[in-house]
Structure 1
Amino acid sequence: MKLFSNTITTLEQALNYSSTKQKVIAQNISNADTPNYKSKEVSFKSALQNAMDQSMQAKRTDARHFEFKGQQTNGIAITTNQNTSYNNNGNNVDVDKEMADLATNQIYYNALTERISGKFQTLQSVIRGGK
């Protein structure tokens, strides 16, 4: 028996994604002047796919149906952008893009924390008997 609903689990995974993205963006900004440093990014598509694989389960009702095999991975993919170079020293960090990504991620994180806080307040209200 699960204590919490799938919504809280999904919000937890989204918070993990946002936290990882924050760390990667901060690392990129801090290495903006490091020679030959290549920027990194967190792939939302792979994080979404991981969440979908964990939460969606298919059931075969007939032997003729295709078998569904989802990969059960908990990791969030961090990729290094090797193909570009913006500076003469081989660095490819675009500080303006990183700052915009940082602001976007902060808004996303705030929305997630408000949503999970609302879920816990609802649980707290249920525990107190609606008071």
Structure 2
Amino acid sequence: MVRSILSSSTENVLEKALGASALRHKIISNNIANVNTPEFKRSSVLFEERLAEALNETKATPARTNPRHLAGHNGGGDFNPVIVTETTTSIRADGNNVDIDAEMASLAKNNIYYNAVAKELSRYFSNLKAAINEGRR
């Protein structure tokens, strides 16, 4: 009950963004670990694109102002990260397509992204805590 009261779309998006970033870290680390493995194909995580699509669907859905109105599709729910393996490219003779420089840059970018999302989630919970504490006075 309390969970449903305190849950919000902001919290949901931030939690999924943290999860996607953690998954992306694992995938990039796997790519780096297999940089010298013949025939290895790099993988990547799609999340931001799916989130943008879900948010666009939500914006396009009109609000129901009367219970007799038809319910529209409420997008925004299915934006889980997806792992994609790039099988069509090869940058070396052994069939491997991992570029170590690109992977290291992606890892650094993902680290910055994770820290920013974690900070925003922390700020969200701090604001929630402040609202609860102010309500007690």
If the TM-score is normalised by the length of the shorter chain, which range does it land in? 0.7 to 0.9
The change in CA–CA distance for 1:19 and 1:72 in structure 2 (over 3 A counts) is: same
Aligned-residue sequence identity (percent) comes to 36
Partner of 2:81: 76
Partner of 1:127: 132
Q: What secondary structure, in the 3-state scheme, does the structure 2 residue paired with 1:128 have?
A: helix
Are residues 1:40 and 2:43 paired? yes
**TM-score normalised per structure 1:** 0.78
Partner of 2:31: 28
C-alpha RMSD of matched pairs (Å): 3.0
Q: Structure 1 stretch 121-130 or stretch 98-107: which is displaced more?
A: 121-130
Residue 125 of structure 1 deviates from its aligned partner by 1.8
Residue 48 of structure 1 deviates from its aligned partner by 3.5
Residue 94 of structure 1 deviates from its aligned partner by 0.3
Q: Structure 1 stretch 77-86 or stretch 67-76: which is displaced more?
A: 67-76
Are residues 1:111 and 2:116 paired? yes
Q: What secondary structure, in the 3-state scheme, does the structure 2 residue paired with 1:93 have?
A: coil
Gaps of 5+ in 2: 65-71
Gaps of 5+ in 1: 62-66
Partner of 2:67: none
CA contact (8 A) 1:47 1:77 kept: no
Are residues 1:16 and 2:19 paired? yes
Number of aligned residue pairs: give it: 126
Higher-helix-fraction structure: 2
Partner of 1:64: none
TM superposition outliers: structure 1 runs of 4+ over 6 Å: none
Q: What secondary structure, in the 3-state scheme, does the structure 2 residue paired with 1:82 have?
A: coil
Q: Whole-Å Cα distance in 1 between the matches of residues 93 and 79 of structure 2?
A: 38
Partner of 2:69: none
The change in CA–CA distance for 1:45 and 1:121 in structure 2 (over 3 A counts) is: same
What do the CA deviations read for 1:78-125 (whole angstroms, capped 9, x no partner)?
111111112221110000000001111111110001111011111222
What amino acid is the match of 2:52?
Answer: L
Q: Structure 1 stretch 91-100 or stretch 118-127: which is displaced more?
A: 118-127
Q: Structure 1 stretch 100-109 or stretch 67-76: which is displaced more?
A: 67-76
**TM-score normalised per structure 2:** 0.75
